[in-house]
Structures are given as structure tokens and as C-alpha cells.
Amino acid sequence: VQGGGTLEVTLAQFWSSLGVSRLDCLLEFHGVAASGASGLSLEPGGPVRLELRAPFRRERVQPTASFTAVVSSLRPSEAVLDALTTPRDTLPEGRVIHQLTLTYKLAAPEPGKYRPNLQGLYGLCYDASFEVCPLMLFDGNKQLLAQSDPVYPGTFELKKKADHTLRVAIR
């Protein structure tokens, strides 16, 4: 049962039970509600407050926490803005489309799974006036290792400790 909703309980006498029946019923709800608990993640830059409340009665809680991922922020090491001049990239009335290419240097401290997260692009894949090209991961030899959707990125499996480059183009 989730708070703020309606619970409908229907009781009926079985078809083969003849006569009058009596039912005494007691419904009791209890539990702990947490504010901000859905998808809680610790972002760099400060503490996170989590409030627990028991609206119906006193409850005993035994909170635990576990860390499954490390979040670190990266700034682009290079940002290049280009005017795309091919006929395919020219809008009506001769307006030109521009492309911003962002390059990030990723020094993987150890092998494991890495998931890039471009926060500013979330929720903009259909209603935006720009398009985002695939996020590309290169190794130190400039070999393409993987591609991912930058709006809803997947994880990259890095097999060894090395320097990598992430590149995304926004048009």
C-alpha cells in the first residue's frame, strides 16, 4: 500500500453460505516514510539529508548504507565549436548549424565498469532544438572501444588501468 492512494476492500458472502454472516474487521497500517529515498545518490559537494518519519505510530528502524559506485565530475579537456557548412547541415534561409564537440580525458584508476553521465542532456532527447551524436570511448591509441547514447548512457567495461578519451558532439 502506498500513501496518498485509495485502498478498496470488497467483502462478500460465498454463494453456498446461506443465512446471515457476521464479520469483525480491523485494518491497521504502519510503516516508515522516507523523504528523498528514491534513487538516493551522494553527489560531490556536500552531505545528503534523509528524513524518516512514522506517521501512524512509533517504529523501530535499523538503517544501513552501502556504496556501489563512485561518482566523480569531469570537465571537458577540449571544447570545439564548428560551423557545419555542407548543404545537408544548412537550414532554410541559409542559416548554419553549429556543432560543439566535447572531449573528456578519463584516467581509469582500475579495471571495472564506468558509466558516463551527462546531466544536462537528460530529458531533452525529444523536445530539444539540438541533437546529440553517440558518446564514443577511445583508448590511448585512438581506437574506438565503445559507443553509447549520451542521453541514456550504458556502462563501459574497461579491462585495464589506462587513459581513455570520451567524445560527444552536440549539434
What average pLDDT is seen over the chain? 79
pLDDT tops 90 at residue 5: no
pLDDT per residue over 60-117, tens digit each? 888 887 777 777 778 899 999 998 888 888 888 878 888 889 999 988 888 888 888 7
Average pLDDT of 116-144? 76
Distance spanning both ends of the chain, measured CA to CA: 46
Give me the percent of the chain exceeding a pLDDT of 70. Answer: 83
Task: Tell me 55's DSSP state.
Answer: S
Compare 149 and 59 and report the one with higher pLDDT: 59
Say how far apart CA 79 and CA 35 lie, in whole Å: 39
pTM: 0.60
Reference 132, options 160, 101, 167, 170; nearest CA is: 170
The DSSP code for 132 is B
